[in-house]
Amino acid sequence: MNRDPNPRYALHAQLDADTFPVAAFALSDLRLMDDANYPWVVLVPRVAQARELVDLDSSQRHALSDEIDRVSRALHDGFKPYKLNIAALGNLVPQLHVHVIARRQDDPAWPSPVWGRVAARPYTPEQLVERVALLQDLFRD
């Protein structure tokens, strides 16, 4: 169970600034990173003060794992990447969040990690609408 006595969940300001909402799952919000270089989404569990996977109770960890699987499969099917990168680092943004990035061998950072290699390319308003709509279509049941 979440060990934090503060029951109020809030999205970290940096995640709010760097991402756009796509969908809400049972546990997590799915958000699109503002970097058009890659199909890159972030799952943010709505659990107050969660910084690490160990801050989630067993059912929450299982739910997050299922949501990571769902997102990974959707990106795999929708974008046909060479590789999926899945990571929960949190060194700069301590709030628990999981990155799922569809990588191609011709993407700007390949084969290195996306962090700090290539300047982010923000979505244009038109690209943003198109990418969010595509992602939402991938998650329609």
Q: Which CATH number goes with the domain that contains 125? A: 3.30.428.10
DSSP state of 106: T
Within a domain: residue 121? yes
Per the DSSP assignment, residues forming a β-bridge with 32 are 20, 41
Domain that includes residue 113, residue range: 13-138
Within a domain: residue 62? yes
Within a domain: residue 1? no
Q: Is the pLDDT of residue 5 over 50?
A: no
Within a domain: residue 8? no
Distance in angstroms (rounded) separating the CA atoms of residues 5 and 105: 45
Q: Which residues contact 100 (CB under 8 A, 6 or more apart)?
A: 40, 41, 42, 43, 68, 71, 72, 75, 84, 85, 86
**Global pTM value:** 0.93
Residue 3 pLDDT class (50, 70, 90 cuts): very low
Q: How many domains does the chain have?
A: 1
Distance of CA 100 to the CA centre of its chain: 5
Within a domain: residue 3? no
In the prediction, which pLDDT does 135 show?
A: 97
Within a domain: residue 6? no
Tens digit of each residue's pLDDT (9 = 90 or more) over 61-76: 999 999 999 999 999 9
Tens digit of each residue's pLDDT (9 = 90 or more) over 19-66: 999 999 999 999 999 999 999 999 999 999 999 999 999 999 999 999
Within a domain: residue 58? yes
Within a domain: residue 4? no
